[in-house]
Structure 1
């Protein structure tokens, strides 16, 4: 059972990290659920209230930062809400439609279409698309850093504290 427990925890952590890049996966919630899986298979005794407060605050910061950083890049370069929506759809659908490059081309095409539909010229659409891409990739980096921090804190809490 110990191998199964650790396998599930590690799989959830990997799914969580992959979720930082691919938004269809649950990301931070998978990592958070991994903490419960560890508790169910082994023990909740290693956790205390501070562990849960720290991890929950990181998850909240993750969700807020994900939205704020992504939207900021779009707004900073003159994008609209439609641009944010279509670039997010492109991020989700792109890898299925264009397997090798969909993660980049999907949101880029979605952002350009969002701006063109909003009545902007092609040059302004490219500028807003660049801001959207910058925001998305910055958001991914922030998510990866915070999710790795969650995992490191977990291992420190289990094996050090």
Structure 2
């Protein structure tokens, strides 16, 4: 049972880290779920109140950062609500239309198309797309760091 638990926990950690880059995977949710899998299959004993407070705070921070950092990138480059919505749609649709490359092209094109739909000049629409791309890349870096921190803290508490 212990080996099975560790295999599931490690797989959830891997899925979580992939999810930081590839939005189809559940990211932080998978990492958080790994804590419960470990608790149910091995023991909740190593986890005290501070473990859950710290991990929950990081988890909520990840969810907020995921949307806020991306939106901030668009806003900083002069985009508006249409480009934020377009970049989010592009982030979801892009990887399906153009596997892997769609992760980068999708948000960029989504923001540009969103701006063009509302009548923004092409040059400004392109700037908003660039902001969406920078916001996405910044968001990925933040997610990777925070999710890695969650995993490291898990091992500190368990080992």
- Alignment map for 1:99-110 (pairs within 5 Å): 99-110=99-110
Query: What is the DSSP-based 3-state SS (H/G/I as helix, E as strand, rest coil) of the residue aligned with 2:92?
Result: helix
The C-alpha deviation readout for 1:23-54, integer Å capped at 9, x for no partner, is 22211111011000001111000110000000
- Distance in 2 (CA, whole Å) between partners of 1:118 and 1:23 is 27
CA distance in 2, matches of 1:149, 1:21: 16
User: Does the aligned pair in 2 maintain the 1:87–1:107 contact within 8 Å?
Assistant: yes
Per the normalisation by structure 2, the TM-score is 0.96
What do you get for the CA RMSD once the two structures are aligned?
Answer: 1.0
Residue 69 of structure 1 corresponds to 69
Q: Is the 8 A contact 1:95 1:103 kept in 2?
A: yes
Residue aligning to 1:87? 87
Structure 1 counterpart of 2:46: 46
* Contact kept? 1:94, 1:107, Cα under 8 Å: yes
1:117 corresponds to which residue? 117
The equivalent residue for 1:138 is 138
Q: Distance in 2 between matches of 1:147 and 1:106?
A: 24
1:67–1:53 CA distance, 2 compared to 1 (3 A) = same
What TM-score does the superposition give when structure 1 sets the normalisation length? 0.95
Q: Which runs of 5+ in 2 are unaligned?
A: none
Aligned residues: 159
Deviation track 1:122-161 (CA, whole Å, cap 9, x = no partner) reads 11111111111101110110011000000000001111xx
Superposition deviation, residue 100 in structure 1? 4.1
1:128 aligns with 2:128: yes
Runs of 4+ residues deviating >2 angstroms? none
Instruction: Show structure 1 runs of 5+ residues with no match.
Output: none
CA shift in 2, pair 1:100/1:48, >3 Å: closer
Distance in 2 (CA, whole Å) between partners of 1:24 and 1:98 is: 14
Report if aligned partners of 1:22, 1:92 keep a CA contact under 8 Å in 2: no
* Cross-structure match for 2:18: 18
CA distance in 2 between counterparts of 1:27 and 1:106 reads 19
